[in-house]
Structures are given as structure tokens and as C-alpha cells.
Amino acid sequence: MPAFDTYTCNECGTAFKAMAGANAAESGYCSPVCERAGKER
Ligand SMILES: [Zn+2]
């Protein structure tokens, strides 16, 4: 069973599931859109 963890998006606050060690888990954003928005701040 893959190790999915629940994270909270740094940008929009949405809880999302990602695999531990995945890009989304490390960056803390639920989607590329949020990641871009978060990095622009
Ligand atoms: Zn988000």
C-alpha cells in the first residue's frame, strides 16, 4: 500500500493527499497553480 499522507496546501489551505516524498508533499502545495501563486508572493 502506498504511503499517502494528508497535507494542507500552503496557498489555499485545502487538505490534499500526496505520497510521502512526492513533489507536492515537499513543496506543500495542492496543485501547480497554487505552487506558482505561492512562490510569487
Ligand atoms: Zn492549493
DSSP codes of every residue in 17-33: EEETTSHHHHHT-SSHH
What separation in Å is there between the alpha carbon of 32 and the centre of ligand 1?
A: 8
Amino acid, res. 41: R
Note if the pTM is more than 0.75: yes
Domain boundaries, the chain: 4-40
Strand bridging mode 4-8 / 15-19:
antiparallel
What separation in Å is there between the alpha carbon of 2 and the centre of ligand 1?
A: 22
At 1 the pLDDT is 66
> pLDDT band for position 36 (50/70/90)?
very high
4-32 per-position pLDDT tens digit: 999 999 999 999 999 988 888 889 999 99
Amino acid, res. 23: N
